[in-house]
Structure formats: structure tokens, C-alpha cells
Structure 1
Amino acid sequence: MTRGGTVTEQVRTRTNGIELNVATAGAGPPVVLLHGFPHTWRVWSEIIGPLSGGHRVLAPDLRGFGDSEASGEGLDAGTLATDIEGLLGGESATVVALDAGVPVAFLLALRRPDLVRRLVLVEGTLGTLPGAEDFLAGGPPWWFGFHAVPGLAETVLAGHEAEYVGWFYDQGTRGRGVRPDVREAFGRAYARPGALGRTLGFYRALPRTGSQLAEAASRTRLTVPTTAIGAAPVGRALEQQLRPLCEDLTGLVVPDCGHIVPLDRPAALLEALSL
């Protein structure tokens, strides 16, 4: 159940050799919602209900995250994009991605534009592609290095996973916080044995993801209508990365909004989607 009483069903779907947990609601043209770190499908809790009034919403837990099959392997963006390609089963959809989901959705749209009617990328970056130099001038956020060292973060944080991921929700909403039920669900998901370490596979696969992004961007332009949505801290960095790669790009920044846009300013995100 999501905000407003919308019934959200969770189903198991096998794709690309792995079983994904997918939250679904509504009927109509499909909308796929891809979360980031440290999230699960519940990062979309505030917008699934409104979207489901006219769309079939599919919000998967990415492989290794939440209730999807436990795996710390294959968390490079290319493999995750193939997972979502299988989830779509040949049907085209609007694809909305946040944070770590951004490079996944970007690669999916480059590889299979026939499956993506519209691409909406929220508060993420595309590796070291040109355009984000100002954002990355001081180096990547501190946790990128912490998470990249195999075995370190999950060992240091053992028994404190909920508190750790909770810090990101506070920072990502500029201190406003998230609904208690959503926060508790995130905490439970990441406190499961091995859960945090599995999701950190995303950071440990970043060199491979970076190579995939650079290669794809050198060969193909993004032809699907694309919207880049920034807030704090990414701002227009993603838009600037996308500008030379897109044939149809709209960029906007949500004012007074933290990184986790769908939880901090869901109404603004829904307005930007205009589905």
C-alpha cells in the first residue's frame, strides 16, 4: 500500500538469469521507475499512487537490492540495463531513473530506443563523460571511495546499517526526513545479513560502468525525448553531460530540493513528468 491507499503488488519476475522483485500498480501505458543507492523501490512511494491513476507502474528492486535475488555481481550499469530490457519484454515504456539508476536507464535508451518512449533522469551523473567537471572539481563524494574497497564498509558498519543509510535520507531531503514507514522499510532492507555488501557491488563495478558509458556515448546519440532533472547537489551537471549526446533534451532544476527528489519534492517531480 502506498500513500493515498493505492494498492501496490509485489511480484517476482525472472530476467537475464536473475529474479527481480517488482512493485506494480495501476493500468495503462507502462512507466518504469529505477532507484539508486541506498534505496529500494520504496523511494518512489510518494509518486506510485498518482502515476498509477493512468499508468501501469513497474518499480523493480535492482539486482542485489531490496527483495530481488541476492547478488553482489553484475551491478555494472550494462548488466542492470539488460535486466530492465528483459523486464520490459518488448513493450516500450517511459523510464524514470534516480541516482545509481541514471547510467542504467541511459544505457538502456542508447541500446534499445524502441523500448523507451521517454527518458527522465534525476539527480545522477554519467561517469566521467564531459560536462560534470565543476560538480566533480573537488573529487567524487567521500562515500564512493569508502564503498569501493571490497569488504570494508560492510565490516565497519556491521550492526549499524540502518543508521548509516538513514544518514543519506536525511541529507537527501535537506534535513526534512522521510515518512517513518518508508525509513523503517529501508532500514530493514539494508540490515539483512549481507544486504549492504551486495548493494556496494554497484560502486565496485564503477570502473566497468564508466567504460560502458564512454564506449556507448562514442558510438550512439540519444534519440528518445529526454528530461534531466537536477536538485542539490547535482544541479545541471547531468544536463551538461547529456547536452552534446541528445537530440531532444529538456533540463530543469527543482528549487529547495535535496538529492532524493521523489521523497523530498514529489509534487515537483510529478509536475515535471507530466504523464
Structure 2
Amino acid sequence: MGPDAFIPGFRLADIDVGGGITIRVAHAGEGPPLLLLHGHPQTHVTWRKIAPALAGRFSVVCPDLRGYGDSSKPEGAKDHSTYSKRAMAADQVAVMRAFGHETFRMVGHDRGGRVGHRLALDFPEALEKLVLFDIAPTATMYARTDKDFASRYFWWFFLIQEAPLPERMILGDVEFYLREHVERQNKISGATEEAVFQEYLRCYRSPEGVHAVCEDYRAAATIDLEHDAADADRWVECPLLALWGARGVVGRTYDVLETWREKAREVSGRAVDCGHTLQEEAPEETLRELLAFL
């Protein structure tokens, strides 16, 4: 495929990962392989401010998660396993193997970070280092939910409602919902340029896209918790860097480093002066932290 319209120097490709699933990726660079996974409601375009610099040192692969961007958006299963983080992690291992990378380093923001946590447990031999942006472990966040968290992160509880309730409500005014979501989470004005927001909207607004998002969150509240409970005695073995927004909900609600020290053997990290989307709101500071760790 041709060059990426949003990330200079990157080219697009569609990778068949099996099971009828195709993953859209942007890729560039040479050196140690590095996987960048976006969160909700973004796509791989969220890495546009830091990916070119990373590609100067790494072989960078930026996929759209299944259900997002221009990747496949299959119908959800009754047990939501189609969008389990286990299935999504397996997608990404297949993507990296398609590029010839058996081992790699990884950065995950938001949902991508949750995929990264599962990938570290299911494919420990593949992961050399893991960076997580603005998340605490899923099971921890659900277990410690209070009124303040539920009010600030209402979509964790709205999107998990039985289909088609949230799908129908979002599709009533997709642009309003998406803009409100992005603007509430970003604390640095203008961090998501209008052209980029419109790209996120293009990928989000189809019925299949909205359903996929809901299934992602439904999986997080059901089958992902089952998988986490089954692996409660397992650790993330690779070095883990946790970064979070000092102005965001996660950092103000949890001791982020402590939550990850309950899950991983080697944890470091700190807050960055921004909201939820570090790579868009504080790209220079975020890039410095990544280069130092990776």
C-alpha cells in the first residue's frame, strides 16, 4: 500500500493474522523492533508526533487494533471472546512475526496497554520491554471502583451494557459523543488536531466500528477478568515502564506504580504533565522517557 497520510515516512500494509482478521499497520525504520498500540477512541494515527523519531532508532510497527481504524471489525461472540485482550494480543504477535520479529519491545496506550499486559502474560518469550500509558490493571480498576471513578470514567460502565443499547445511543450522534470523549480526556487544548479528529471519526462512525468498541469494553468487564483471575499468580517478567498524565483520572485515582508492582517484577515510571493521551498532549517529554527506557 501507499504512504501513511498522517505519519511522515511510514507506509501502510494489511496483515492477515488468521481467522478472517486483517490488521492495518503503518511501519517504518530499522533497528530493534518496536510495537506501538493505540487506545480508545484513537487509531495508529495517535503516534504521529513521536513515531518518526522512534523510527530513527527502531523498526516501528503501528497497528490498528482489531475493531479499530481500518482493521477488521468482526461481530462479537456471546461471551465477548472475539474482543478479548487474549485474542487482540495474539493478533499483534502474528503481526510482528509477519515482519520477521519473534521478539520485540512494546508501548501501549489505554486499550493498547491492556492488550500489552495480556501479551506479556500469554507470550512472555516475545516481549523484551513493556511501556504502558495512563492505565492501572483492568482488574484493579474494577475492583477499586468508587463513585468518583465511575463518574469520571462513565464509558467503562455505559459501553458494557447489553447490545444494542450503547450502540444505538452512540450512533444517534457519533460526532458529539466522540468529540466529548476526546475533549474530556485531553487536558492540553489542541493536542488532537481537527484533521486527526476527523480521521478518528471516519473510522469510528460505522455501526461495525461502534459495535467493536462496545465489545472491547464488554470483554474487559467479563472474559478479560476471567483470564486475569486465572493468571492471578503470574507476573509480567520483562521490565515495565508506567507513564501517566498528572492531570488525568488514573493518576489522581490510583498509585499507578504500586498497582503495577502487584503485577510485574520490575517497575519504574512517573507522571507527565498532561491528561490521558501522552503521545498527543506531551510528545517531546514522552519521547524522551521512551528513548531512555527502550
* TM-score, normalized by the shorter chain, greater than 0.5: yes
1:175–1:228 distance in 2 versus 1, CA, 3 Å: closer
Distance in 1 (CA, whole Å) between partners of 2:211 and 2:16 is 22
Give 1:81's match in structure 2, choosing from 89, 92, 105.
89
Give 1:268's match in structure 2, choosing from 263, 269, 285.
285
Q: Percent identity?
A: 27
Distance in 1 (CA, whole Å) between partners of 2:118 and 2:171 is 33
Query: Which residue identity lines up with residue 15 of structure 2 in the other structure?
Result: T
1:55-134 paired onto structure 2 within 5 Å: 55-73=58-76, 74-89=82-97, 91-129=102-140, 133=144
Structure 1 stretches lacking a partner, 5+ long: none
1:131-150 paired onto structure 2 within 5 Å: 133=144, 136-138=145-147, 139-140=149-150, 141-149=153-161, 150=163
Residues 132, 241 of structure 1: 8 Å contact kept: no
| 1:249 alignment counterpart | 267
Residues 188, 281 of structure 2: 8 Å contact kept: no
Q: CA deviation at 1:60?
A: 0.8
Distance in 2 (CA, whole Å) between partners of 1:156 and 1:221 is 39
In structure 1, the residue corresponding to 2:116 is in which secondary structure? helix
Residues 86, 122 of structure 2: 8 Å contact kept: no
Query: Which residue identity lines up with residue 162 of structure 1 in the other structure?
Result: E
Distance in 1 (CA, whole Å) between partners of 2:143 and 2:243 is 14
1:253–1:272 distance in 2 versus 1, CA, 3 Å: same
Give 2:187's match in structure 1, choosing from 174, 181, 184.
174
1:168-207 paired onto structure 2 within 5 Å: 168-174=181-187, 176-177=189-190, 178-206=192-220, 207=222
| 2:40 alignment counterpart | 37
Distance in 2 (CA, whole Å) between partners of 1:110 and 1:45 is 28
Q: CA deviation at 1:258?
A: 0.6
Deviation by residue 1:127-151 (Cα, 9 ceiling, x = unmatched): 2238973xx3325321122111211
Q: CA deviation at 1:6?
A: 2.2
Distance in 2 (CA, whole Å) between partners of 1:35 and 1:21 is 12
Residues 102, 126 of structure 1: 8 Å contact kept: no
1:9–1:194 distance in 2 versus 1, CA, 3 Å: same
Alpha-carbon RMSD across the aligned residues, in angstroms, is 2.0
Q: Is residue 235 of structure 2 the alignment partner of residue 227 of structure 1?
A: no
In structure 2, the residue corresponding to 1:217 is in which secondary structure? coil
Q: Is residue 164 of structure 2 the alignment partner of residue 151 of structure 1?
A: yes
Work out the number of aligned pairs and report it. Answer: 270
Q: CA deviation at 1:180?
A: 2.0
In structure 1, the residue corresponding to 2:241 is in which secondary structure? strand
Distance in 1 (CA, whole Å) between partners of 2:103 and 2:5 is 25
Query: Which residue identity lines up with residue 146 of structure 2 in the other structure?
Result: A
TM-score (norm 2): 0.85
Distance in 2 (CA, whole Å) between partners of 1:250 and 1:175 is 25
Residues 159, 214 of structure 2: 8 Å contact kept: yes
Q: CA deviation at 1:159?
A: 4.9
Residues 33, 59 of structure 2: 8 Å contact kept: yes
Residues 99, 125 of structure 1: 8 Å contact kept: no
